[in-house]
Structure 1
Amino acid sequence: MASNMIPTGGTAPQSVESITRIAQVYEYNSSVPLRYWLRTAATLLREADIYEREGHDEQAYFILFRHAQLVLVNLSKHPDTKKNEEDRKALIAAEKEVQKNLGKLEVLKPRINKRYERYTQLMRERDSRKQPLQATFTPEPRAVIPDPALSGVAEPLEAGENRDLAVRLAQSELNRRATARISKGSSGPSVEELESRRGAGVWGHWDTQLKPDSRTTDQDLSQRIQNIRSNIDNPLGQRAHTSDAFSMTSAYKYPSVPRQKPLEPTVSPAQIAILDKNVQRHAPPILPPKEHMEPSRAIIDDIAPSLPAKVLPAPALPNKVLPTDETSTTEANLNPSSYTFKPSAYLENGTPLRSIFLPGNLRSRFLSLAAPNTRANLETCGMLCGTLVSNALFISKVVIPEQTATSDTCETVNESAVFDYCDSEDLMTLGWIHTHPTQTCFMSSRDLHTHCGYQVMLPESIAIVCAPSKDPDWGVFRLTDPPGLKSVLNCTQTGLFHPHAEENIYTGALRPPGHVYEHAGLDFELVDLRP
Structure 2
Amino acid sequence: MAGLDQPMSVRQISDLAINFEFQPHIALKYWLRTAETMLRESQIYEQEGNGQQAYLLLMRYASLVLEYFPKHPQAGAPEAKAGLKAATKAITEVVQRMESLKPAINARYISWQEELERRGNISAPTRNGSRRQGGFDPAVAGRRTTLAAADNSDLAVEMAHNEMRRRQTKRRATRQGGISEHEEQERRTAGLWDDWEAALSKIPDTRNDLEDDAQMQRDMYASRMRTSKPYSQTSDGSPRATIESIQSRPELPRGPCTDYRYPSIPKPQPVTIDNTNQSRKARSQSPSKPTVPQRPRKDRLEEQSFDEPPTRPEKSVPVTPAVSVPGTKESYTFKPSAYLENGKPLRTVFLPTTLREKFLQIAAPNTLKNLETCGMLCGTLVSNALFISHVVIPEQESTSDTCDTINESGFFDYCATEDLMVLGWIHTHPSQTCFMSSRDLHTHCGYQIMMAESIAIVCAPSRNPSWGVFRLTDPPGMPSILHCRKTGLFHPHEETNIYTDALRPGHVCEHDGLQFQLVDLRSK
> Normalising to structure 1: TM-score of the pair?
0.76
Q: Is the 8 A contact 1:39 1:201 kept in 2?
A: no
1:177 to 136, 157, 167: 167
Instruction: Give the Å deviation of 1:519.
Output: 0.3
1:222 equivalent in alignment to 2:212: no
Q: Tell me which residue corresponds to 1:346.
A: 339
Q: Tell me which residue corresponds to 1:516.
A: 508
Cα distance in 1 for residues equivalent to 2:225 and 2:155 = 45
1:13 equivalent in alignment to 2:13: no
Q: Is the 8 A contact 1:441 1:473 kept in 2?
A: yes
Instruction: Name the aligned partner's letter for residue 30 of structure 1.
Output: P
Cα distance in 2 for residues equivalent to 1:344 and 1:75 = 32
Q: Tell me which residue corresponds to 2:287.
A: none
CA-to-aligned-CA distance 1:459-506 (integer Å, 9 cap, x gap): 110000000010000000011111111111111111111111111111
Q: Tell me which residue corresponds to 1:79.
A: 73
Task: Give the aligned length.
Answer: 437
Cα distance in 2 for residues equivalent to 1:197 and 1:494 = 38
Q: Structure 2 regions of 5+ residues with no counterpart?
A: 123-130, 231-242, 253-275, 284-294, 296-301, 312-317
Cα distance in 1 for residues equivalent to 2:31 and 2:370 = 34
Q: Point out the more displaced range, 152-161 or 27-36.
A: 152-161
- What are the within-5 Å matches in structure 2 for residues 28-39 of structure 1? 28-39=22-33
Instruction: Name the aligned partner's letter for residue 220 of structure 1.
Output: A
Q: Is the 8 A contact 1:94 1:200 kept in 2?
A: no
Q: Tell me which residue corresponds to 2:299.
A: none
Q: Is the 8 A contact 1:39 1:200 kept in 2?
A: no
SS class of match (1:455) = helix
Q: Tell me which residue corresponds to 1:48.
A: 42
Cα distance in 2 for residues equivalent to 1:333 and 1:69 = 40
SS class of match (1:80) = coil
Distance 1:269 1:423, change over 3 A: farther
1:124 equivalent in alignment to 2:117: yes
Instruction: Give the Å deviation of 1:193.
Output: 4.9
Q: Tell me which residue corresponds to 1:368.
A: 361
Q: Is the 8 A contact 1:434 1:464 kept in 2?
A: yes
Distance 1:394 1:231, change over 3 A: closer
Q: Tell me which residue corresponds to 1:357.
A: 350
Cα distance in 1 for residues equivalent to 2:188 and 2:86 = 11
Q: Tell me which residue corresponds to 1:528.
A: 520
Q: Is the 8 A contact 1:49 1:60 kept in 2?
A: yes
Cα distance in 1 for residues equivalent to 2:447 and 2:25 = 16
Cα distance in 2 for residues equivalent to 1:66 and 1:93 = 17
Q: Tell me which residue corresponds to 1:233.
A: 248
Q: Tell me which residue corresponds to 1:280.
A: 321
1:394 equivalent in alignment to 2:387: yes
Cα distance in 2 for residues equivalent to 1:476 and 1:161 = 20
The share of aligned pairs that are identical, in percent, is 51
Instruction: Name the aligned partner's letter for residue 178 of structure 1.
Output: Q
Instruction: Give the Å deviation of 1:152.
Output: 5.4
Q: Tell me which residue corresponds to 2:60.
A: 66
Instruction: Give the Å deviation of 1:202.
Output: 7.5
Q: Tell me which residue corresponds to 2:273.
A: none
Cα distance in 2 for residues equivalent to 1:15 and 1:201 = 37
Q: Aligned-residue CA RMSD in angstroms?
A: 3.4
Cα distance in 2 for residues equivalent to 1:418 and 1:173 = 24
Instruction: Name the aligned partner's letter for residue 71 of structure 2.
Output: K
- What are the within-5 Å matches in structure 2 for residues 118-157 of structure 1? 118-127=111-120, 153=143, 155-157=145-147
Cα distance in 2 for residues equivalent to 1:198 and 1:48 = 14
Q: Tell me which residue corresponds to 1:23.
A: 17
Instruction: Give the Å deviation of 1:70.
Output: 1.1
Distance 1:158 1:75, change over 3 A: same
Distance 1:69 1:370, change over 3 A: same
Distance 1:162 1:434, change over 3 A: same
Instruction: Give the Å deviation of 1:425.
Output: 0.7
Q: Is the 8 A contact 1:91 1:200 kept in 2?
A: no
Q: Tell me which residue corresponds to 2:480.
A: 487
- What are the within-5 Å matches in structure 2 for residues 67-466 of structure 1? 67-82=61-76, 84-127=77-120, 153=143, 155-185=145-175, 187-190=180-183, 192-193=186-187, 199=193, 203-205=197-199, 212=212, 213-226=215-228, 227=230, 228-235=243-250, 264=280, 271=305, 274=309, 278-280=319-321, 331-333=326-328, 338-466=331-459
Q: Is the 8 A contact 1:38 1:200 kept in 2?
A: no
Q: Is the 8 A contact 1:400 1:529 kept in 2?
A: yes
CA-to-aligned-CA distance 1:286-336 (integer Å, 9 cap, x gap): xxxxxxxxxxxxxxxxxxxxxxxxxxxxxxxxxxxxxxxxxxx9624488x
Instruction: Name the aligned partner's letter for residue 229 of structure 1.
Output: E
Instruction: Give the Å deviation of 1:223.
Output: 3.0
Cα distance in 2 for residues equivalent to 1:343 and 1:489 = 25
- What are the within-5 Å matches in structure 2 for residues 465-480 of structure 1? 465-480=458-473
